[in-house]
Homo-oligomer: A and B are copies of this chain.
């Protein structure tokens, strides 16, 4: 059983159904009836007017947002372990036309007001140094920690004071909200977020993520950039349909809760082996090479994060028997 990454899990049956239901002739690109419902559906979810654009990957969502928030000659402040820095092949530089990532320290890949402010202060305000233009945080973080609404709001206030754009990589936004109980609104625009990459693929979607713009005036430019980046699919209806299916009856939240619960079960079994508190659906464990091999021999697969440390990620479909066996195996190490 694979606990390698939630991004490899199957799509949820309701997502599949929605795709099938949309498989008929309609207008191409995003002129179809499903795509035209997206803005409204997310405006309802967030309790205010938003613009919502589907894209195929989190990388595309993140980098289209960053390109609108940061000029080619600007800097984006992010954690040194942020996905945009370590796992997107330099996509932020590609989409922005060469913007710079200024890397911040911080436990569990979390960024704080202090680290952001200090990084800004180290930059001389002249033409020789790249000036800060935006902050990007990941929620839940790459280590499975979450920002509570008030933490986001503190960063949002800082961004506002400094004149910086504020982007949230929400590849696991659902898991974060499932953990904190915050509302979508409180964890995003009310906290000053300008653009949110709302992830669905790791949470039961097939291939559709959604970029949510609270600064709605950015949407038209981003729509052009999406096309220019080859991300305007001709059968966009199947993208919108699966996202709408995820929103229906809060399937996104239900799935995230299931994944988080699975992680909690593993965390309970792991006890003092935990590297970070388990808040969302990622579990980092201190496990020797020999112990890791034992788990693998039992049929479990996972990511060797660093020597002596493994990463387990749970998915929306992973409660059940294999999980129990894994928990037992971890407890028995």
Contacts and interface: CB of A to CB of B under 8 A. Distances in A.
A88 B63 CA distance: 19
A139 interface: no
Contacts of A86: 128-129
A227 B128 contact: yes
Given A11-B235, A201-B234, A90 B130 contact: yes
Contact of A234 (B57, B98, B233, B234): B57
A8 to B, nearest CB: 4
A229 B127 contact: no
Nearest to A91: B228
Given A72-B94, A228-B94, A128 B89 contact: yes
Interface in A106-164: 127-131
Interface in A4-20: 4-5, 7-11, 16, 19-20
A201 B11 CA distance: 21
Describe A's contact surface by its main secondary structure.
Answer: loop
A124 to B, nearest CB: 9
B25 A127 contact: no
Contact of A73 (B27, B59, B89): B89
* Residue in A55, A91, A100, A223 whose Cβ sees the most chain B Cβ within 10 Å: A91
Given A60-B229, A72-B97, A95-B230, 17 more contacts: A4-B27, A8-B28, A16-B20, A57-B231, A61-B230, A63-B230, A73-B94, A73-B228, A89-B129, A90-B99, A91-B227, A93-B93, A97-B98, A98-B98, A127-B223, A127-B232, A231-B231
8 contacts: A2-B25, A8-B235, A9-B25, A90-B228, A91-B227, A93-B100, A207-B233, A207-B235
